[in-house]
Amino acid sequence: MTTLIKGGQVVSPSGALLADVLVDGETIAAVGAPGTLTGDETIDATGKYVLPGGIDAHTHMEMPFGGTHSVDTFSTGTTAAAWGGTTTIIDFAVQAKGTSLLSTLDKWHSKADGNCAIDYGFHMIVSDVNDQSLKEMEACVDGGVGSFKMFMAYPGVFYSTDGEILLAMQKAREIGATIMMHAENGIAIDQLAAQAVAAGNTDPVQHGLTRPPELEGEATSRAIQLAKVTGAPLYIVHLSASQALAAVAEARNDGQNVFAETCPQYLYLSIEDLAKPDFEGAKYVASPPLREKSHQADLWRGLRTNDLSVVSTDHCPFCFKDQKELGRGDFRAIPNGMPGVEHRMDLLHQGVVAGELTLGRWVETCSATPARMFGLYPRKGVIAAGSDADIVIYDPSATQTLSAETHHMNVDYSAYEGFEITGRVHTVLSRGRVVVSPDGFTGSTSHGKFLSRSLNQYLN
């Protein structure tokens, strides 16, 4: 049975083109000039965009963190992702200290396999660098995990020393894997945070005040130099600060394999949200922290210059009630993370509407580049014959208001409550199956498949 998506504008990094798309089973059979293709069934996309499904390369479903767990399961989180036009997530398997990478990978498979509404892959968080874990990095690549996240933050939890980072980077260079870095100087930050609490400053805004952008910039530069010494490709995750962006831009201008992502929260929210009274600021506690609004213009510029190549969400939701509230009286106990997996495509389309991004850059940063960065292209990230039929039909003239009242994430608040958006998802296909339509969610949480990923295609 074939499905013809007709009358729409197919969007790629090169822009929009009036074209019809023929879907046959799980793949795209053809893309043709309007009126040149026929199908058994038809979806009318007249006046709408036809996008490659969004790829969110940074999510944390069911993540053990801060003495609790992020509240979206793989089922609820991938369903919410589909509602928002994301058809692939790359989540993080989290190595606990004292455990092996391979048992960690098995554990995340047991969480996700058979429980996802859309396709999914894994990065590996390496929190315990030792001979065994370095050796197992190679086996992880064989298991379809080609990217390893390390932390210069969170001492005693995920933190690695510069020496441990260097060893992992040397291994990554040897096996062709990418090192992803949470670049904040966690050792200095912990001192600033302790001093704030000792002085009686315990509100959520202190989370931002004790993690200054200079300490993200310093750590980013340090990670870049370690990558330069080892030759490892480096991907800076959730970049929030102008200082960090400047370090990335300088390295890229020098031709070093350094890439970086930012997240919608850093483009639209600020430390003023962290400063909201009555503990409301806890809803916006994530690391790196929301910055002064002045950083936003630099980040939008970075998305235009490609010094920021990807927009991910770092979706790591904790309910305000009972979870974020763990930090009443001491901001350090507020679980770090924010919800957002459902709104990335809409918020970045709002950037197109506002003239910050072109249509092509919207698709490139939200789908095509994450596909290439993490070894999924051209299976994912493009509307082309032979690619998976992961397709979003997007109505650019619709309007919507984001709210916890209407979102599908399993969390009791929205970081974007009340945001007015121009544009909304109309229909979503995952490997040829309509999973979201004007009738609602029509997919299933057993539909998604694990994506064994090749290595970073920017390097090969």
Ligand X SMILES: NC(=O)NCCC(=O)O
Residues that bind ligand X (CB under 6 A): 60, 182, 238, 286-287, 314, 316, 336-337
Q: Which is nearer to Zn ion, 182 or 211 (CB)?
A: 182
Note whether 289 and 211 are within 8 A (CB).
yes
Residue 443 buriedness (CB in 10 A; 0-12 / 13-18 / 19+): buried
Q: Least CB distance from residue 154 to ligand X, whole Å?
A: 7
Judged by beta carbon distances under 5 to 8 A according to partner kind, the member of ligand X, Zn ion, none in contact with residue 165 is none
Q: CA distances (Å), 236 to each of 137, 282, 306, 317, in order? A: 19, 25, 13, 21
The helix, strand and coil proportions of the chain, stated in percent and rounded to the nearest 5, come to: 35, 25, 40
Q: Which is nearer to ligand X, 122 or 377 (CB)?
A: 122
Note whether 238 and 288 are within 8 A (CB).
yes
Give the Cα separation of 362 and 369 in Å (integer): 10
Q: Least CB distance from residue 159 to ligand X, whole Å?
A: 11
Q: Is 372 in the site for Zn ion (CB under 5 A)?
A: no
Q: Which is nearer to ligand X, 117 or 237 (CB)?
A: 237
User: Under DSSP, is residue 40 helix (H, G, I), strand (E, B) or coil?
Assistant: coil
Q: Least CB distance from residue 198 to ligand X, whole Å?
A: 23
> With CB under 5 A as the contact rule, which of the stretches 179-187, 189-197, 261-269, 290-298 interacts with Zn ion?
179-187
Residue that is written with structure tokens 């980013």 in the block: 220
Q: What is the distance of C-alpha 371 from the center of its chain?
A: 12
Q: Is 182 in the site for Zn ion (CB under 5 A)?
A: yes
Q: Least CB distance from residue 137 to ligand X, whole Å?
A: 20
**235, amino acid identity:** Y
Judged by beta carbon distances under 5 to 8 A according to partner kind, the member of ligand X, Zn ion, none in contact with residue 184 is none
User: Under DSSP, is residue 220 helix (H, G, I), strand (E, B) or coil?
Assistant: helix
Q: Is 295 in the site for Zn ion (CB under 5 A)?
A: no
Q: Is 315 in the site for Zn ion (CB under 5 A)?
A: no
**Taking each helix axis from N to C terminus, what angle separates 213-230 and 242-253, rounded to the nearest 10 degrees?**
20
CB atoms within 10 A of CB 109: 14
- Total binding residues for Zn ion by CB under 5 A? 2
Give the Cα separation of 429 and 295 in Å (integer): 36
Give the Cα separation of 311 and 362 in Å (integer): 9
Q: Is 171 in the site for Zn ion (CB under 5 A)?
A: no
Give the Cα separation of 99 and 126 in Å (integer): 10
Q: Least CB distance from residue 68 to Zn ion, whole Å?
A: 16
Judged by beta carbon distances under 5 to 8 A according to partner kind, the member of Zn ion, ligand X, none in contact with residue 224 is none
Judged by beta carbon distances under 5 to 8 A according to partner kind, the member of Zn ion, ligand X, none in contact with residue 286 is ligand X
Q: Which is nearer to ligand X, 145 or 286 (CB)?
A: 286
Q: Which is nearer to ligand X, 48 or 60 (CB)?
A: 60
Report which residue's Cβ sits closest to ligand X: 336
Residues from 424 through 443 that contact Zn ion (CB under 5 A): none
Q: Least CB distance from residue 230 to Zn ion, whole Å?
A: 21
Closest by CA position to 315, among listed 341, 290, 286, 283 = 341
Q: Which is nearer to ligand X, 238 or 372 (CB)?
A: 238
Q: Least CB distance from residue 436 to ligand X, whole Å?
A: 26
Q: CA distances (Å), 357 to each of 304, 310, 323, 325, in order? A: 7, 13, 36, 37
Closest by CA position to 435, among listed 392, 382, 385 = 392
Q: Least CB distance from residue 221 to ligand X, whole Å?
A: 19
Q: Is 314 in the site for Zn ion (CB under 5 A)?
A: yes
Note whether 226 and 258 are within 8 A (CB).
no
Judged by beta carbon distances under 5 to 8 A according to partner kind, the member of Zn ion, ligand X, none in contact with residue 336 is ligand X
Report which residue's Cβ sits closest to Zn ion: 182
Q: Least CB distance from residue 132 to ligand X, whole Å?
A: 24
Judged by beta carbon distances under 5 to 8 A according to partner kind, the member of Zn ion, ligand X, none in contact with residue 379 is none
Sign of the four-CA dihedral 347, 349, 354, 358: positive
> With CB under 5 A as the contact rule, which of the stretches 244-252, 310-318, 371-379, 437-445 interacts with Zn ion?
310-318
Q: Is 343 in the site for Zn ion (CB under 5 A)?
A: no
Judged by beta carbon distances under 5 to 8 A according to partner kind, the member of Zn ion, ligand X, none in contact with residue 160 is none
Q: What is the distance of C-alpha 225 from the center of its chain?
A: 24
Q: Least CB distance from residue 389 to ligand X, whole Å?
A: 31
431: CB partners within 8 A, 6+ apart: 26, 27, 119, 388, 389, 390, 447, 449
Question: What are the residues binding Zn ion (CB under 5 A)?
Answer: 182, 314
